[in-house]
């Protein structure tokens, strides 16, 4: 089921400082910030040769990463996103195995405009997993 | 400086259960467990098309992931490893930027038999970064 690692998401309290750190200290190629009000984050993409890291800063009152940053004020690794070819088939297989989805269990349109699902971290050893249909 | 994402490391309290979950529930290709007493972990590689996830279980009394699992008993994302072509040049650039290494600051032989350095998570927004010379 799991395809490529699409991205590793890192929540940060200060996106400008984190971007500067990845660009200047770590010498990585970084994008311009993209403001995604409907997802409650501003994101900068760190482009690596085989995948990308997404630096996420909370945006607005109801950001989905606000609680994480309250627990981890310096920031930290938030989730890992795997590509799947058929998200409905993936969901069926997961539900059969007893794995739980976050939210309604219906795929939502993710930050890249593709259908996504988030799996409950309690079912995957503390790791929040996003599946994205590519 | 940063090259490919070599692996994402996930610490787990029960390697057999986590391996079964990635293999059977998530449908990924997983390796046999490899016991690495000199690194204080047992590791299973989850092979994705573009990178790998390493599931780590503590081994022995002084495992480097023991403290993490005390704080996060269910497990969680532990570090991200980037490839660099010249670890000494990378270190020089990092030290110039004020970034701190864990331990002595001298590259150690990592779990893949290559020179590695770990960067202080406080300097990188709560993310533990491993650099591996490839």
Sign of CA dihedral B3, A4, B73, B126: positive
Instruction: Dump pLDDT digits (tens) for A23-52.
Output: 999 999 999 999 999 999 999 999 999 999
Tell me which chain A residues have a C-beta less than 8 angstroms from the C-beta of B53: 5, 80
C-alpha closest to that of A114 among A94, A90, A79, A87: A87
The helix (H) or strand (E) run that includes residue B71 is helix B66-71
Closest residue, chain A, to B127 (C-alpha): A76
User: How far B37 CA sits from the closest chain A CA (Å)?
Assistant: 23
Least Cα separation, residue B39 to chain A (angstroms):
21
Q: B65 pLDDT band (50/70/90 cuts)?
A: very high
Q: What are phi and psi of A75, to 5 degrees?
A: 105, -175
Contact A125 B18 (CB under 8 A): yes
Segment A56-64 shows an average pLDDT of: 95
* Model pLDDT for residues A76-129, shown as the tens digit of each residue: 999 999 999 999 999 999 999 999 999 999 999 988 899 999 999 999 999 999
Q: Among A5, A13, A14, whose Cβ lies nearest the Cβ of B48?
A: A5
Average pLDDT over residues B18-45: 97
Contact B76, A126 (CB under 8 A): yes
pLDDT at site A43: 97
* Environment class of B62 (CB within 10 Å of its CB; exposed 0-12, middle 13-18, buried 19+): exposed
pLDDT band at A61 (very low <50, low <70, confident <90, very high): confident
Q: What is the mean pLDDT of chain B?
A: 96
Interior angle at CA A49, CA A54 and CA A111, nearest 5: 30
pLDDT at B79: 98
Residues in chain B with CB shorter than 8 Å from the CB of A122 are: 74
Phi/psi for B18 (5° steps) reads -65, -40
Contact list, A82 vs chain B (CB under 8 Å): 26, 48
Q: Is A102 exposed, middle or buried (0-12, 13-18, 19+ CB in 10 A)?
A: middle
Tell me, yes or no, if A130 is annotated catalytic: yes
**DSSP result, B94-107:** HHHTT--BSTTSS-
Smallest CA–CA distance, residue B109 to chain A, in Å, is: 21
Domains of chain B: 5-133 (3.10.180.10)
pLDDT in tens, B85-114: 999 999 999 999 999 999 999 999 988 899
User: What pLDDT is attached to residue A111?
Assistant: 86
């Amino acid at each position: 089921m799991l395809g490529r690692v699409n991205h590793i998401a890192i929540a940060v309290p200060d996106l400008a400082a984190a971007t500067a750190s990845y660009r200047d200290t770590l010498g990585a190629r970084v994008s311009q910030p993209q403001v995604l009000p409907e997802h409650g984050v501003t994101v900068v993409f760190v482009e690596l040769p085989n995948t990308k890291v997404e630096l996420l800063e909370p945006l607005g009152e109801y950001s989905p990463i606000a609680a994480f940053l309250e627990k981890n004020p310096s920031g930290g690794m938030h989730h890992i996103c795997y590509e799947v070819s058929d998200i409905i088939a993936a969901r069926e297989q997961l539900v059969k195995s007893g794995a739980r989805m976050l939210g309604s269990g219906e795929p939502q349109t993710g930050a890249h405009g593709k259908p996504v699902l988030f799996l409950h971290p309690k079912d995957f050893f503390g790791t929040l997993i996003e599946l994205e249909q590519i």
